[in-house]
Structure 1
Amino acid sequence: MLDLSSRHIDTAKLLEAVNWSETAVGSREGWSPSLQLATSIVLSSGLPMALRWGPDFIMIYNDTYRPVLGDKHPWAFGRSACEVWPEVWPEIGPAHEAILAGHSGPLFFENRSLLISRGAAGSETAQFTLSYSPIPDATVPTGVGGVLVSGVETTERFQAEARLEAAEAKARATANRLAAVLESTGDCVFVLDTAWRFSFLNTQAREEIAYGRDLLGGNLWDEFPHAVGTVFWDNYQRVMTERVPATFEAYYPPPLATWYEVNAYPSEEGIVVFFRNINERHAAQERQSLLIRELHHRVRNTLATVQAIFSLTVRSATSFSQFSDAFTARISSLAKTHLILTEDEQQAASLHDLLRLELASFENPRSRRVRLEGPKVRLPSEVAVPFAMAVHELTANAAKYGALSQPKGHIDVTWDVRADGEAQSLHLEWIERDGPVVHAPTHHGFGERLLKRMLTAQARAQVQTEYRPEGLRFIVDLPLSR
């Protein structure tokens, strides 16, 4: 005996088992040719099909339509569609009514969402791509006997597409967040695929290396041919092939002409490169190296200067007290000069500042005893030290024996810069007046010996001393670096 409650019973057997005389369509012997033909088409079709016949839309469907019904099969076979689908009939019923009344032609729906109930799990939203087609029947007044429903359930595909779209949206959001992070970083960043094509550059990278070019899609080695065979090539190749990170510093020649600090990492796409312009840092390192070399040179010169000062002071001193005072004053003057040089980034000193360092104590607001006049000149350390020592000796000599030893004595220091072939030289004159009558010395003292030794030996200067009765005149011509 046929079990009409089994969910596995096929629809061909149901067609024979149902007592159609108890339904609105009546016994099969009285079925119109249209109904018989439509039933045969539905049951033999490989596509999900359901026939909804007559004013009650009695349902006849095939086996491939059974999954749409779920637990409602086989109960639904031979029953009214509005009874089978009460949850959606208010939504789909009007279309069926319009077709059956002859007011509407075929209808098509793609991925139509319907809230249906077909199992113990309760209501669910399902998607269907389907068509409603009128079935002609000459035996009914409207000429339409029923509605043929055909189509497929697209819920899984729709959900898969929705999941894919959500995943793509998430990926886009992640990519946008990553791009925002890469844009906000202080580093320049670009990404290369496995074919060495640029797939991403942040704003900093475009400003640093693109120079108005659109590098996206371009090949790294074509766009930057000077990198081939260099440390850039070696490290990027290693990151791409061995899948290990690399950190290095390298110089890229013109047109970039820049030192870069580079960090390259393997990525799923190829490699990602973080880099930054370190020209300023390299320049600072070069300046630091230069300063260290200059410091070593200056220390050697300073030790030689101190040794010369000590030796000559000892020879000229007549007592320990005289030696101590003279040696201390000269070392103090040397220390002040070095302080000026140390505080200057270029290791140079202003000529005017060196003069004022020794002569400022003799300036009087009521009587201008010292006049300094000349253009701005900066002396490098190798010239500034011997020049400052010479000024100290001239000042000390003027205070003891020259113009500064008398209340009305004056000193004029004037200078200018003169062309000396392709180089330049400083011409300076120290002129004393209104002091004691000057007599040429019978022997050369310490000051004169120090002047000649330091200015001629260390600064390559030419010096001339004139012992005029009205005052000392000292002239120095000192070569300057261009």
Structure 2
Amino acid sequence: MDWLLHFLPDLVGREEALLRAIPRALIAASTLGIAIATITFLVKRRDLPGVYKRVALAFVLLLLCITLSHGVGAFSLFSPSPAYQRVFDSVAAVIALVAVFLIRFALPELLALPSPRELQRNNAHLKSEIDSHIDTMRQLTDIRGELEETVRMRTREWKEINQRFEAALSGSDIAVFNQDKDLVFTWAYNNPHFEIGAEEIIGKMDRDLFAGDVAAQIVEAKRAVLSTGQGTSMNVVVSTVEGGTQYLRLSIEPLRDAAGETIGLTSAVFDLTERHDYETRLQALTSSLALANARFDLALRGSAIMVFSHDADLRYNWIYNPPTGLAPDIMLGRTDEEIWPPEVGRPILAMKREAVATGQPQHGEIVMPLAGSDRHFQVRIEPMTAGNHEVIGLAGVVVDVTESHLQEAHLRLVMRELTHRSKNLLAVIQAMARQTAARSDDPQTFVSRFSARLRAMAASHDLLVAQEWHGAILHDLVNAQLGQAIEPGSDQLKIEGPFISLRPDAVQNIGLALHELTTNASKYGALSVPGGRISLRWAIRDDNRFHMRWEETNGPSVQSPQKSGFGVTLLERSVGQALDGDVTLEFTPGGVVCEIDIPASHVIA
């Protein structure tokens, strides 16, 4: 019992100490747990600002001070140790000072922190900003959706355009390329028509694709475009792998960015080989056609042939070489009914309608009034048919045969005139024969004289035939008749008179007169001696009369004949009467003088 009595005071004292130590221990444990939790928080939240970290560290130190103080206090209740207590109190004091030191330097920054009201305002402003940003994000989301839809639409359009682009180029002889400023190919659409593929072009330069001289020419042109910013085009000729020739046309344009700066080139290459071949053949055909047209034009130029064509409505759509009095302007686009009066156009309209109805060529002759006179035309019309043999128009040739008709009429007139002149000529020859025979002593003399007179008539006729019986030049007539006895230009002959022509009747009669005068002068007159002279003059007098004078001088002495011979009779009677004029004949001692005076109507101006 003594031990119990001894133990009970100790037990009561320990119970009281325990009751005092437990709260301290709990406080120490709690503050230690809070300190550990704070340290864990700081370790995991390394992104906190420094001021927060320093305040938290001070808080941890204070908590450790409390933990240490209460822990040591609780322990000292069971095992009092003043020295141990003082050490821990000193450590706790140092830790507290460190905490105060940390708080001291963090205090200005803590004071700079916003107040709760400011934080509330800032929070409200931040919330407003966040709401605004949310609206903006929503709008951006809507815009993004619209942009994505636009991008999808543009992408679809681009694909469609690219497909159309490729489809268009695939059926053509065109290739398109892009190059950077160093002239390296960066993109290519090469038509399958070309020998090299697009993948073989990208990354290469012109010198890798073309021969040296061609590449130099192309590079020079492209560098000029890069320098000036102005597009250009050029033609080049290259050799193909098969050894042929390919004709290319390059169209070079600057490639620009959104700011308008030149960043490279875009080029289109056109294969003109087939076109060149066509143009070569076309040029040959054009030359042949031009030559044919020239021949056609030469054949019809100056001729009386008109060529024309009609459409299905019988309207003139082409006319070449229209006759005098017609012009293409008044005929093109019109029908014959619109051009000619009914009585004039009816015959040719009938021919054309018959050709359209039957499909068979038609021909005939028509008469039309043109340029104030009737013109005769030979017409031939050919139907023009399509592949189904349907008549789609007419082609025609019109030949002006008016001159032929006039020539035929003139020929008939000439034949009548020839018949008349032949009768007159035969009558003259018959009269000459009778007169020559009556004044000839023997047949030989008759033949000689008659033949000479026939030759004189033939000489006059030769001159008339040469001029188609329109007349003869008087100088030629004089030379022809006097040439039988004297050389033209002889000193014995002097001729004076204007250059005129005589009509056929005057040519024949004056020719006979000159023959008789020349024959007489040769036998008995001025031409029978070397010194004789003949002067022959003619003129048109004011009284509208033609006057010719034959005068002989320096010849033998002349006496009037005892009886009139054929020559005198011919001069005085036949020539004068035939030409409605007068013939005077004088036998002067110096020589024969003959004057012929007839109306000027026998002279051709």
State TM-score, norm by structure 1.
0.57
Aligned partner of residue 547 in structure 2, secondary structure = strand
Give the C-alpha shift of residue 219 in structure 1. Answer: 2.4
CA contact (8 A) 1:221 1:228 kept: no
Residue in structure 2 matched with residue 47 of structure 1 by the alignment: none
1:477 has 2:597 as partner: yes
Higher strand share: 1
1:454 has 2:574 as partner: yes
Residue in structure 1 matched with residue 496 of structure 2 by the alignment: 373
Aligned partner of residue 353 in structure 1, secondary structure = helix
Distance change (3 Å), C-alpha of 1:307 and 1:208: closer
Amino acid at match of 1:263: R
1:349 has 2:472 as partner: yes
Between the two structures, name the one with larger relative contact order (CA 8 Å, sep ≥ 6).
1
Higher helix share: 2
1-side partners of 2:394 and 2:502: how far apart?
52
1:245 has 2:361 as partner: yes
Residue in structure 2 matched with residue 427 of structure 1 by the alignment: 547
CA deviation string 1:7-60 (max 9, x = no partner): xxxxxxxxxxxxxxxxxxxxxxxxxxxxxxxxxxxxxxxxxxxxxxxxxxxxxx
Residue in structure 1 matched with residue 155 of structure 2 by the alignment: 104
State the Cα RMSD in Å.
3.9
Give the C-alpha shift of residue 253 in structure 1. Answer: 1.6
1:191 has 2:314 as partner: no
1-side partners of 2:310 and 2:587: how far apart?
79
Query: Which residues of 2 match residues 221-300 of structure 1 at below 5 A?
Result: 221-225=337-341, 228=344, 231-255=347-371, 257=373, 258-267=375-384, 268-300=391-423
Aligned partner of residue 104 in structure 1, secondary structure = helix
Give the C-alpha shift of residue 473 in structure 1. Answer: 1.4
Aligned partner of residue 463 in structure 1, secondary structure = strand
Give the C-alpha shift of residue 320 in structure 1. Answer: 1.7
Using the TM superposition, name which of 336-345 and 389-398 deviates more: 336-345
Aligned partner of residue 467 in structure 1, secondary structure = strand
Q: 1:204 aligns with which of 310, 321, 345?
A: 321
Residue in structure 1 matched with residue 556 of structure 2 by the alignment: 436
Aligned partner of residue 531 in structure 2, secondary structure = coil
Amino acid at match of 1:465: L
2-side partners of 1:367 and 1:289: how far apart?
44
Residue in structure 2 matched with residue 329 of structure 1 by the alignment: 452
1:410 has 2:533 as partner: yes
2-side partners of 1:412 and 1:103: how far apart?
116
Amino acid at match of 2:378: E
Amino acid at match of 1:266: P
Residue in structure 1 matched with residue 586 of structure 2 by the alignment: 466
Aligned partner of residue 324 in structure 1, secondary structure = helix
Query: Which residues of 2 match residues 356-395 of structure 1 at below 5 A?
Result: 356-363=479-486, 368-395=491-518
2-side partners of 1:209 and 1:312: how far apart?
58
2-side partners of 1:322 and 1:251: how far apart?
61
Give the C-alpha shift of residue 392 in structure 1. Answer: 0.8
CA contact (8 A) 1:188 1:208 kept: no
Give the C-alpha shift of residue 194 in structure 1. Answer: 4.7
2-side partners of 1:366 and 1:348: how far apart?
24
CA deviation string 1:221-252 (max 9, x = no partner): 22233763564344344434454433233443
Query: Which residues of 2 match residues 5-20 of structure 1 at below 5 A?
Result: none
Distance change (3 Å), C-alpha of 1:448 and 1:230: farther
CA contact (8 A) 1:362 1:370 kept: no
Give the C-alpha shift of residue 103 in structure 1. Answer: 6.1
Query: Which residues of 2 match residues 13-162 of structure 1 at below 5 A?
Result: 104-105=155-156, 107=160
Give the C-alpha shift of residue 416 in structure 1. Answer: 0.7
Distance change (3 Å), C-alpha of 1:433 and 1:208: closer
Query: Which residues of 2 match residues 149-188 of structure 1 at below 5 A?
Result: 186=300, 187-188=305-306
2-side partners of 1:363 and 1:200: how far apart?
65
CA contact (8 A) 2:363 2:381 kept: yes
2-side partners of 1:218 and 1:427: how far apart?
61
Using the TM superposition, name which of 222-231 and 346-355 deviates more: 222-231
Amino acid at match of 1:435: G
Give the C-alpha shift of residue 367 in structure 1. Answer: 6.5
CA contact (8 A) 2:473 2:502 kept: yes
2-side partners of 1:334 and 1:218: how far apart?
60
Give the C-alpha shift of residue 470 in structure 1. Answer: 2.1
| Structure 2, unaligned runs of 5 or more | 1-148, 172-284, 385-390
Aligned residues: 324
Give the C-alpha shift of residue 458 in structure 1. Answer: 2.9
Distance change (3 Å), C-alpha of 1:248 and 1:452: farther
1-side partners of 2:309 and 2:408: how far apart?
30
CA deviation string 1:350-400 (max 9, x = no partner): 212222223235446996111111111212222211211111111111222
Distance change (3 Å), C-alpha of 1:397 and 1:441: same
Amino acid at match of 2:315: R
Distance change (3 Å), C-alpha of 1:315 and 1:102: closer
Aligned partner of residue 407 in structure 1, secondary structure = coil
2-side partners of 1:364 and 1:209: how far apart?
53
Give the C-alpha shift of residue 279 in structure 1. Answer: 4.5
Aligned partner of residue 318 in structure 2, secondary structure = strand
CA contact (8 A) 2:312 2:393 kept: yes
Q: 2:426 aligns with which of 278, 303, 308?
A: 303
Distance change (3 Å), C-alpha of 1:285 and 1:315: same
1-side partners of 2:584 and 2:440: how far apart?
25
Give the C-alpha shift of residue 446 in structure 1. Answer: 1.2
Q: Which has the larger radius of gyration?
A: 2
CA contact (8 A) 2:316 2:331 kept: yes
CA deviation string 1:328-355 (max 9, x = no partner): 1111211222122222235422212222
1-side partners of 2:572 and 2:327: how far apart?
58
Aligned partner of residue 105 in structure 1, secondary structure = helix
CA deviation string 1:281-320 (max 9, x = no partner): 4454444444333332332222112111100001011122
* Percent of aligned pairs sharing the same letter: 28
Distance change (3 Å), C-alpha of 1:471 and 1:275: same
